[in-house]
Structure formats: C-alpha cells, structure tokens
Chains A and B, each alone.
Chain A
Amino acid sequence: MKNTGDTFWQKLWKQKALVLMSLPFIIYVIIFKYVPLWGWLMAFQNYWPGNSFFEQTWVGLENFRLLLSDPVFFEVLRNTLAMSIIKLLSGMFFSIILALALNEVRFAKFKKITQTISYLPHFISWVVGANLVMNALSTDGGIVNDVLLSIGIIDSPIMFMGIPKLFWWIVGASHVWKTVGFGAILYLASIVSISPSLYEAAVIDGASRLQRIRYITLPALKPVIIILLIINVGRLMNMGFEQIYLLSNGRVIEYSRIFRIFELDYGLKMMRYSFATTAGIFRSLVSIVLVFSANQIAKMMGEERLI
C-alpha cells in the first residue's frame, strides 16, 4: 500500500480516483467559505458596491476608530456580553441540577419519560420558541400574568415584553427552558461513568446521599464543566442571535441590541457596508482572544489540581 519512493505528483496520479472525488468539494469550500474572507478588506475601505476593487477608497483604520467612538458601540458590547454570560451560567447551572436530579430518580420509567420531555424544546425552532414565550407572557390570558394575578402579587397584567430592564432575564429564562434538557445529557453521561465502587465505599463510611453528591458526583463533573466553559467562552460574542432578534422589539432596543443585530442594521439597512464589516471583524477578534484566554486559564487550573 505505501509507495514511499513516489513523488507527490506520482502519488497524486495513482490516487486520481480519490482526487476526482474530492475536487468538487475543494472548489465548493473555496467558493462558499473562503471567497467571502476577501470581504474583510472592506473594513479598510470606504466600500461602495458599484465600484471595482481598484476604484475603492482605502481609509486604513478609520472604520475601527469610527466603531470605537460610536455612541451605541459600548451599549452593544454590554448587551452582547451580559446576555451571553447570563445564558451561559444559568444554562449550565440548571442543566447540572437536572442531571443530578435525574440521577437520584429510582423509578426507571419516570426517569425516561422526564428525559424525553426535557429534550423536546431543543428540537423546535426559535421562531416557535419565541412564539411560546410571548404567548406565556402576554397580557391577555398569558399564564405568567394569570398566575401572578391569582396569587395576588400584581393587580393588573404586566406587559413583560415591553420592559427594557426585564429583557435580559426573559432571554435567560427562555434559554434555560429551551436548552436545559439537552444540556443535561453531557453531565448525565459523565455521572454514569463514575465508578460505582466510589459510591459503595462512601456508603460503608456512612455518607448520606447528599454527601455523596457533594463529595463524589460534583467533583467528578469538574472536568466536563471546565471543557464546556472553554468552548462556550469562545462563543460569547455570537451566542443566540436568532433568539434575541425574535424576542426583541423597539421598546427594549437599548437592552436587546447585540453585535449581530447592530451589523445587520448598519450593513444591510443603512448600507454602511464597511462599517458593519468592521464590527464583524471586531467580534471575531474578541472571540479569538476569549478562546485563548479561557484555554490559558483552564491550563493554569489544571496545574493547580495536579499540585
């Protein structure tokens, strides 16, 4: 099988069937994924679609200066990071609680039914999800208002979707609703892989169930928690655009406008193409920095654990 004596071109000729099979895929990925990368140059131009590449005016870093001095820029940055962090932490917290709770269930059938139901929201689109959320929060017969009214916490229905300060928390809660079941799968898989002998030894030592969770199960989840944190920290700038776009409305814009909505508004609606592209590049750069720092921090934590 190994033709170590052949040159690269000889090998290529021998494998022409494989080359032929993969060639369309190489062309495909270049056209659809790599050609748009040229568009990054737009950030350094004052791009206008009618002009050819050589007719564009080059402006250096002017677009970056404009971006950083834009009055809504810091608001957008704050909203993007705040909502992502709320979603990340609350999503993880409830998924871990769910995994621990499921693990304590002794009736196999109840466990299975609960799991099956808990995955369901993962498979519906955010269009449907946003609809269900708005339905539950509506002022004319929405369940949340009805419950609050009937137990006497409020006197008249509240228009939750119109309160700017509530928007982040509505996004966080609906994120938990949609992802908690699916998110629990990974934690549950880690719990199942814990050696039963650890629990048996703990029982002999007289540890209660609560103590077993505290001293065996939770520490065993630490690695998967750290891995998921690293993966998700890299996504902080990109998390849940569809959800936020669909739930937001004009009344809560100061709290709902995130980077990708900002890019959409400035780019396609206001036709400030170069400016929007600059915002996109900024977002990618921050993501890269976040991934590397998270990775570094995890490495340091790993060393601590070794000592």
Chain B
Amino acid sequence: MLRAKKRGWDDILLDIFVYTFLIALIIVTLYPFLNTFAISLNEGRDSIKGGIYLWPREFTTFNYESLLTDPQIFHAAGVSIARTVLTTVFGTFLTAMLAYVISRKDFVLRKFITFIYVLTMYVQGGLIPTYFLYQRLGLTNNFWVYVLPGLVAAFNLIIVRTYINGLPESLIESAKIDGASEFTIFLKIIMPLSKPVLATIAIFTAVYHWSAWWDVFLYNSSNPALSTLQYELMKVLASANSMSGSMQQALSNSAQAAQITPRAIRATMTIIVTVPIAVVYPFLQRYFVHGLTLGGVKE
C-alpha cells in the first residue's frame, strides 16, 4: 500500500544495497563459527596447511575425544556449570526479594536502599582495593569469589523493581487482609507474577557467568581446581598469542596427545564453550529484547 507506482532507479539501487549489506552481514557473522567448527573436526596437523573453509578435509573426532576426556577440561566444565547455576538461581531469587522490598512505596528504608544500590553503578572501589578486600575475606583461591560478589547487581535490581511496580497494588493489600506475611506475599504472589522479568535477568546472569574468566584470572589462577572453561580457553588463546615457552608448556598440559595442535585445541574449545549458548539461544532471543525495553523504562 505504501509502494510508489513506478520504481525509480534509486529505489532499485536501494534494494540492491539493502540485500547485499544484509547477506554480507550474515556471511561475516556466521563464517567464523562455521570455519572454526570445520577446523575442530579436521585432523590437527592437516589444518596447519590451511585451505579449510566450511568443511573438514581429513575428518576426525579425535580433537573432541581428547579434550572431553582431559580431566582438567572436564573439571573446568563442572566449575563453569556450578558457578553459572548457583549464581543464576540464588542471584535471581535474592534480586527479586530485594526488588519487592524496595517496590513497597510505604517502606521507610525504600529510598535509602535504592540509593546505595544505584550509586554502585557509578562509583567503584577499583581493582587494587577490591583485590585486597577479597584477600582479607578469604575469597581468593576460593570458589565462592565467583558467586558472592555478583549476587545482586544494581542494574538487574532496578529492572525487576520497575516490573513489580507495574503490578496491581490491590493484590498485596488483599493478601495482607488475609493475614499473609511479607515473605509469603513475595514468595506466593510476587514471584509467580514476575516470571517474565525474572527469566530475563536469569538469562543475563547465566550468560554473564558462563562467559566470565576475568575473576578466575585475578583471584584463582594459582589453583587449577578452580579453573573454568572460559579461562582454559583464554590460556590457550594467550599461548597462541605470545608463543612463549612456558605458555606452550601450559598448552601441552591441557592436551597431552602430541598429534593435537594448538590451532585444533583452540577451535575445539571454542565450539565446546559456544554450544551451551547455541542450545539456550531460542530462550535468549525471546527474553532479551523484552529485557532491553524494560531497562529503557527506568531512563
């Protein structure tokens, strides 16, 4: 209905540009993944010759077999899953609880609590003081440094509070008349009604913690038992980047077999780390646009 009667030359040029741009974008976005996948399924020494694009030349599952049976990688995967699940479950629950409390307009400490949380988005203690604090709290060389500091993030808190504010207040009032305690109201009424927003922040949290390697590097790098998948991948990357002897040593530790090359390890690790994201991608898609618009509400 909006189309002009006659297509002018600029109209046709525009279409050519739009579709060329979008198809180029699709190729540029997908190719690195597909190429890495092909390399991960190709014999390691053969890959060095180059020329592998979308399909393996000498097909093998050896790279996957050797990495997935490597005890260090296996353990790191366990740590990654543990930190992601724990932080997502507890973080989401606790964020929802505090969000409910500060959504109550009659609560005397509402403004104070909101303020001290929002301020943390702008003022931070910095690398060194935070490091010393964690050291003093016994959180260095400790699994819980992955979980505790990130349980309640100000940004997520505000998103959930904004959502709860939009729920009808009469629900809380009538539950109170029925004699429900604050905690029951939160658990039985607010939590079920906030499912969409809680799913959104749960997904944000899960993706963030699955991707994290920086806290491993800073606080737990001396203890291999606390390493995560992303950190293992980061170490392989760093060794490829600097090519120093000690790094190569670390590399041969993470995959003992001689016929597995650094390139093959990198490719295979990359795919192993990316697969969980691809699996939950349909959920990610559904909730994150929603979350983005919710975040916009507070501006």
Contact, CB under 8 Å: B22 / A127: no
- Shortest distance in angstroms between A74's beta carbon and chain B's nearest beta carbon? 21
Does B207 belong to the interface (CB within 8 Å)?
yes
Does B258 reach chain A (CB closer than 8 Å)? no
Of B15, B128, B241, the contact of A104 (CB 8 Å cutoff) = B15
With a CB–CB cut-off of 8 A, which chain A residues contact B299? 227
On chain A, the residues within 8 Å of B129 by CB distance are 36-40, 42, 277
B249 touches A (CB below 8 Å): no
Q: Do residues A203 and B148 form an inter-chain contact, with CB atoms below 8 A? A: no
Name the residue on B nearest A114 (C-beta). Answer: B22
Q: Find residues 59-118 in chain B having any chain A CB closer than 8 Å to their own CB.
A: 94, 97-98, 101-102, 104, 106-109, 113, 116-117
Q: Which residues of A contact B8 (CB under 8 A)?
A: 208
Residues of A within 8 A of B288 (CB): 119
Residues of B within 8 A of A268 (CB): 127-128, 131, 218
Q: Which of B159-167, B193-201, B262-270 contacts A (4 or more CB under 8 A)?
A: B262-270
A277 touches B128 (CB 8 A): yes
Closest to B207 in A: A123
Cβ–Cβ contact B18 & A105, under 8 A: yes
Interface membership of chain A positions 103-131, coded 1 if the CB is closer than 8 angstroms to chain B and 0 otherwise: 01100001000101111110111111011
Q: Smallest distance from the beta carbon of A29 to chain B beta carbons, Å? A: 6
B183 adjacent to A21 (CB under 8 Å): yes
CA distance A264 to B217 in the complex (A): 12
Stretch touching chain B among A12-20, A60-68, A75-83: A12-20
Taken together as a complex, chains A and B put the C-alpha atoms of A136 and B267 apart, in Å, by 11
The reply to whether the CB of B174 lies closer than 8 angstroms to some CB of chain A is no
CA distance A105 to B183 in the complex (A): 50
Do A26 and B116 have beta carbons less than 8 Å apart?
Answer: yes
* Distance of A125 Cα from B277 Cα, bound (Å): 10
The reply to whether B128 and A135 form a contact with Cβ atoms under 8 Å apart is: no
Q: Are B266 and A135 in contact, CB atoms less than 8 angstroms apart?
A: yes
A18 in contact with B182 (CB, 8 Å): yes
A residues less than 8 Å from B256 (CB atoms): none
B259 within 8 A of A: no
**Nearest B residue to A119, CB-CB:** B285
B124 at the A interface (CB under 8 A): yes
Say yes or no: B29 contacts A267, CB within 8 Å: no
Tell me if B240 counts as interface (CB < 8 A to partner A): yes
Instruction: Answer yes or no: B298 CB below 8 A from chain A CBs.
Output: no
Is there an interface contact between A246 and B128, defined as CB atoms closer than 8 Å? no
- Count of A residues near B, CB < 8 Å? 90
Residue in chain A with minimal CB distance to B176: A1
A260: interface (CB < 8 Å): yes
> Of B10, B233, B263, B296, which is within 8 A of A140 by CB?
B263
Indicate if the CB atoms of A185 and B101 lie closer than 8 Å. Answer: no
Among the stretches A85-93, A94-102, A297-305, the one at the interface with B is: A94-102
CA distance A284 to B127 in the complex (A): 12
How far apart are the CA atoms of A138 and B19 in the complex, in Å? 29
Report yes or no: A209 in contact with B108, Cβ–Cβ below 8 A.
Answer: no
B14 touches A125 (CB 8 A): no
Q: Are B50 and A36 in contact (CB under 8 A)?
A: no
Please, what's the 1-or-0 string for A261-291, where 1 marks a CB less than 8 Å from any CB in chain B?
Answer: 0011001100001001100110010000000
CA distance A146 to B162 in the complex (A): 51
Residues of B within 8 A of A15 (CB): 106-108
CB distance from A172 to the nearest CB of B (A): 14
26 contacts between A and B (CB under 8 A): A18-B107, A18-B109, A22-B98, A25-B94, A29-B116, A31-B137, A32-B149, A36-B126, A36-B129, A98-B22, A101-B18, A104-B18, A123-B284, A126-B211, A128-B273, A131-B237, A138-B263, A141-B51, A143-B35, A146-B50, A146-B51, A177-B29, A186-B292, A206-B4, A242-B214, A268-B128
Top 4 A-B residue pairs of the complex, sorted by shortest distance between their CB atoms: A39-B129, A36-B125, A141-B50, A125-B211
- Contacts from A to B (Cβ < 8 Å): 1-2, 8, 11-12, 15, 17-19, 21-22, 25-26, 28-40, 42, 49, 97-98, 101-102, 104-105, 110, 114, 116-121, 123-128, 130-136, 138, 140-141, 143, 146, 161, 177, 180-181, 185-186, 189, 199-200, 203, 206, 208-210, 227, 242, 246, 249-250, 260, 263-264, 267-268, 273, 276-277, 280-281, 284
Q: A37-B129, A141-B49 are in contact. List 16 more A-B contacts (CB 8 A).
A: A2-B106, A18-B109, A33-B125, A49-B132, A98-B25, A102-B22, A118-B29, A123-B277, A146-B50, A189-B293, A208-B8, A208-B10, A249-B241, A249-B242, A267-B127, A276-B128
